[in-house]
Amino acid sequence: MTDQKIAPSGEERLKSRRMRYLRFCAIGYAIAAAVGVASGFLSDQFESGAIAGWVIVALWVLAVAGFAWFSVEYFRRVDELEIAHQLWAGTIALYVYLFGAPSIWFFEDIGLLIGVPHYAIYLVTGATFILVYGWRRLGLR
């Protein structure tokens, strides 16, 4: 009779759920970083002729499938408030991209800008997402 298990409190369940979520994200981040490093190595191997192009394509398909699986699992684990924060951040980042990229193309076409690299647009869009997401998470609405 003294071996009865006491159900965890709401705070304990929330803490456990949050730790599982953070662990899942950390593992996903580590895998994504490893895929990034591997893609750099494999692109060098392809350029030197050590591996065939189909290997790169097959590994890319595998990486996209892994990303899709991670995304589905992520949205199974996350709550509606987190999704709302990401929706706001994603929408504003998309607006920045949809306004910024054509603006840059326009200024390049008329000669006011010369050769803005595409990764700069990518980085600004990602930075916008991170800033807006942080702004929402901190409650600075």
Instruction: Look at residue 51 and tell me whether its pLDDT is greater than 70.
Output: yes
pTM, full prediction: 0.73
Instruction: Look at residue 135 and tell me whether its pLDDT is greater than 90.
Output: yes
Mean per-residue pLDDT of the chain: 91
- Give the pLDDT score at 125: 96
- Give the pLDDT score at 28: 94
- Sequence-separated (6 or more) residues with CB below 8 Å from residue 42: 51, 55, 56, 59
